[in-house]
Structure 1
């Protein structure tokens, strides 16, 4: 997920959208870049990459001075719906750090905003809804996303495809559960009490909400795929708040449908959540090619829990980057070694990443050095 805003203009209405591509097959066929040998694609697909691929969630985001300059006075959501600006922000970490993938500058609530949900991204807090959604009538009143509403996002992707050369572009979306939690709670929540109350007390209403959000997520990801992204990641940021049984009953079927509906594109599908160590096997079983692992579970242990078959992504603790260079390098090697063991134990491959997003005050030079150390491994 992209970072929090610095301007009240986040509430601005998205600008007029551009038409979506006429045919999905045009991108899935000859128009799609051929990047089979790109390290990230090779690792995700179970082949041996030329170097260990590395990229960072939240891009370099809030840590880059050039990012802060270009975003000055422009709200988060306004930035996401401005193709030239979103393209530039997406390219910045590739230029500075030599990462093996660009991640689309966007936010998990972009499809909600585009569809017409009244929300804002509040600095220091995150997405906040004008009204919470807790009844069947409120669920039924939620708007469905149509492809044309995310035209600016597709235009950003088309611009990036022309700029990135052989560097893959990772698109993403928020998973239905995480979006549902924002809607039901009205914003970020520590305990997700209203969300769980709806799940347990009104399961029919819950599944109706999840079904609608699943439809919207599929529409959003298909728009990105049509425009040319080379991989997609489903962020289930709040899934770690669930028990294994609850995940299986109330969440997994909807995530499965997302992955199934985008499987035909033939690009890697990544699944990531925070605090999901106990859910890793079920998240892998939902249909992803790559499972993201946060810093709490070593990669070789994650491979054991999953049972092999998928590639793994992760998982250096973002806070480690505030230590001295020698410590950062040592901890990075520990992750790389665990990734090697995971592959020997059945994982299809390893993509180096942090265990979550880049923290705002991270030294950009440390990120650049980290990429160099990963590539030298």
Structure 2
């Protein structure tokens, strides 16, 4: 399976992609020891292949990855997504000398069900906690039924914080 992932990533870079997203949706469901044994080596191989082709690698693992943040940093990814339930300050510290941290506004409670004011506050809070290497985004996929006003509020907050 890892060879298929590598071939797909390489094809994307050869087609012009600058950043390759690597998803490992269930890796948060195993112990840190099992992650280091069963997932991390394969993520590292994919990331190395992406880097060899001259692109950046973005790693996303769904769920609470708090226990494997240092291991995720060791993956070699340039950007690491964290889901909404991971403490942004803790992730920023774990990634301080390595990858940028991306996330972690709650996609349902804030982006889908929140008000534009709550979205704005959530984005600003995320950016302040994440520091200068933070890319503010939803902690996972933004639900397609999220109000347009909330997306506009997200953009407005990013412009104010200086990321837009």
**2:32 matched residue in structure 1:** 244
Aligned pair partner of 1:290 in 75, 79, 91: 79
SS of 1:360's partner is coil
State the shift of 1:291 in Å.
Answer: 1.1
State the shift of 1:351 in Å.
Answer: 1.3
**2:119 matched residue in structure 1:** 328
Aligned pair partner of 1:358 in 142, 145, 152: 142
Gaps of 5+ in 1: 1-212, 344-348
8 Å contact from structure 2 (residues 79, 102) kept in 1 = yes
State the shift of 1:237 in Å.
Answer: 1.1
Superposition map of 1:123-202 within 5 A: none
**1:215 matched residue in structure 2:** 3
State the shift of 1:217 in Å.
Answer: 0.3
8 Å contact from structure 2 (residues 123, 136) kept in 1 = no
Once residues 123 and 95 of structure 2 are traced to their aligned partners in structure 1, the CA distance between those partners, rounded to angstroms, is: 22
Once residues 352 and 307 of structure 1 are traced to their aligned partners in structure 2, the CA distance between those partners, rounded to angstroms, is: 16
Please say if 1:315 is aligned against 2:100.
no
Please say if 1:235 is aligned against 2:19.
no
Please say which of residues 254-263 and 305-314 is displaced more in the overlay.
305-314
**1:156 matched residue in structure 2:** none
State the shift of 1:227 in Å.
Answer: 0.4
**1:7 matched residue in structure 2:** none
**2:60 matched residue in structure 1:** 272
TM-score scaled by structure 1?
0.40
8 Å contact from structure 1 (residues 271, 292) kept in 2 = yes
Once residues 120 and 53 of structure 2 are traced to their aligned partners in structure 1, the CA distance between those partners, rounded to angstroms, is: 37
State the shift of 1:254 in Å.
Answer: 1.1
Regions of 4+ moved over 2 Å: 303-308
TM-score scaled by structure 2?
0.89
Q: Identify which of structures 1 and 2 has the higher relative contact order when contacts are C-alpha pairs closer than 8 Å and 6+ apart.
A: 1
Once residues 96 and 135 of structure 2 are traced to their aligned partners in structure 1, the CA distance between those partners, rounded to angstroms, is: 18
State the shift of 1:215 in Å.
Answer: 0.2
Please say if 1:337 is aligned against 2:125.
no
SS of 1:314's partner is strand
Per-residue Cα deviation, 1:73-113 (whole angstroms, up to 9, x for no partner): xxxxxxxxxxxxxxxxxxxxxxxxxxxxxxxxxxxxxxxxx
8 Å contact from structure 1 (residues 271, 284) kept in 2 = no
Once residues 59 and 87 of structure 2 are traced to their aligned partners in structure 1, the CA distance between those partners, rounded to angstroms, is: 17
Root-mean-square deviation over aligned CA pairs: 1.4
Per-residue Cα deviation, 1:50-85 (whole angstroms, up to 9, x for no partner): xxxxxxxxxxxxxxxxxxxxxxxxxxxxxxxxxxxx
State the shift of 1:271 in Å.
Answer: 0.8
Gaps of 5+ in 2: none
